[in-house]
């Protein structure tokens, strides 16, 4: 979180816009839980990785009226190398959460889908 604080402080001085790109870990699922808390999406061995990356987002949310203009882009929930091309993802809108698709299996992120071993810790 120190890195997020320093980034926000520096951008406030510079008057720049921040556009971070994050994993889908913070998006809420149909049950209202963050995706990282759903074992069908995130295996337990990468949950701490997801929590660490979500901590920076919490810092941004703590400063809604701050001097830094920011917007967060989130990657797709299902990552699969060489898999079939998926239909376009639904739009969550401003401040929204990704809606569930009818009949959609749980999204899954893990080593078998391209996560490098060193990213798990």
pLDDT of amino acid 51: 86
pLDDT of amino acid 11: 81
3-state secondary structure 26-81: HCECCCCCEHHHCCCCCCHHHHHHHHHHHHHHHHHHHCCCCCCEECCEECCCCCCC
pLDDT of amino acid 102: 55
Query: Token pair 């569930």 is at which residue?
Result: 100
A 10 A CB-CB count for 62 gives 11
Q: How far is residue 113's CA from residue 87's CA, in Å, rounded to a whole number?
A: 18
pLDDT of amino acid 50: 84
Single pTM value for the model: 0.51
Query: Token pair 């816009």 is at which residue?
Result: 17
pLDDT of amino acid 99: 53
Q: How far is residue 101's CA from residue 8's CA, in Å, rounded to a whole number?
A: 35
pLDDT of amino acid 95: 53
Q: How confident is the chain (121 residues) per 10-residue block, as mean pLDDT?
A: 79 81 80 83 81 82 81 68 56 53 49 40 37
pLDDT of amino acid 45: 82
């Amino acid at each position: 979180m120190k890195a997020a604080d320093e980034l926000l402080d520096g951008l406030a001085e510079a008057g720049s816009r921040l556009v971070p790109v994050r994993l889908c870990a913070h998006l809420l699922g149909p049950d209202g839980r963050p995706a990282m808390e759903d074992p069908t999406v995130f295996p337990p061995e990468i949950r701490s990785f997801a929590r660490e990356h979500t901590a920076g987002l919490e810092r941004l949310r703590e400063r809604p009226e701050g001097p830094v203009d920011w917007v967060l882009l989130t990657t797709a929930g299902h990552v699969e190398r060489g898999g079939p091309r998926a239909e376009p993802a639904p739009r969550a809108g401003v401040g929204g959460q990704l809606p569930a698709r009818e009949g959609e299996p749980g999204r899954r992120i893990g080593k078998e889908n391209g996560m490098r071993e060193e990213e798990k810790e």
